[in-house]
Amino acid sequence: MIQERTFLLFCLLSAGPLPGQSFEVASIKPSPPDSHTETRRWPGGRFTASGVTLRALIQRAYEVQDFQIVGGPKWVDNDRFDIEAKPAVGWSGDLHLLIQSFLAERFHLAIRRENRELRRYVLSVAKGGIRLTPNTSGSQTWTLGIGTLRGENISMEMLATDLLQKVLHQPVVNQTGVSGNFDLKLAWTPDETTPADIGSQPSFSEIGPSFFTAIREQLGLQLTPRRGPVEVLIVDSVERPSEN
């Protein structure tokens, strides 16, 4: 039964686009050497990207983190592309499906999902309780720089599975049991555990605590390393796209 389900999921992920789930017009070309990296969604489903790698596009299309993508040739991480795509007039639907179809059509991308035992972190409440300010404003914003993280109206689930995963480049599971949304400010000294490749300019220059110490002392939370099942996307086949 498990093998049958895996085969069915592989077929769904690698099959061609369904009607209404592909861009009507789409162009792709190599990025200029000095191109900056940006992806944008415009009204009506128009999608543009500049200076993006295929790995970044897979993350965008399937809503996964970098560590969840396994396999593929080196150019998947190195080659950068500019993309301009738009659906038919009057389209309404899921942009992720459009990008998935685009990747299947232009990159001949075939992937499958699999659970693997990987190192991950569990987020829980530290001794003494959380040190966060509740927020019920309804406006949600966050900024992530080198050694800094600020957020408004952030849930524990978003903090764990989105923001902290971006810092650690590893899975983070929310086991705080805390509901509601909060404002937070976090500052730490980046090291080899927390890569300093996030953000364009350093915004925290003074010597401060390590990331894990800052989580405990500034937020009243703690991160504990454990191994557990993590869903990954395995790149079975892919080809460089032809320019148009």
What is the per-residue pLDDT for 87? 93
Percent of the chain clearing pLDDT 70 (strictly above): 85
Confidence of residue 136 (pLDDT cuts 50, 70, 90): confident
Domain-embedded: residue 209: yes
C-alpha 73/C-alpha 234 separation (Å) is 12
Q: pLDDT tens digits for 91-135?
A: 888 999 999 999 999 999 999 999 999 889 999 999 999 999 999
Are 76 and 171 in a shared domain? no
User: HEC string of 48-110?
Assistant: EEEEECHHHHHHHHHCCCHHHEECCCCHHHHCCEEEEEECCCCCCCCHHHHHHHHHHHHCCCE
- Give the tokens for residue 29: 């070309």
Domain-embedded: residue 58: yes
Are 99 and 25 in a shared domain? yes
Are 36 and 92 in a shared domain? yes
Are 100 and 153 in a shared domain? no
What is the per-residue pLDDT for 207? 59
Pairing, β 172-174 against β 110-125: parallel
Split into its structural domains, the chain has a count of 2
C-alpha 165/C-alpha 198 separation (Å) is 12
Residues of the domain holding 35: 2-115+231-237
Domain-embedded: residue 226: no
Average pLDDT, stretch 132-149? Answer: 88
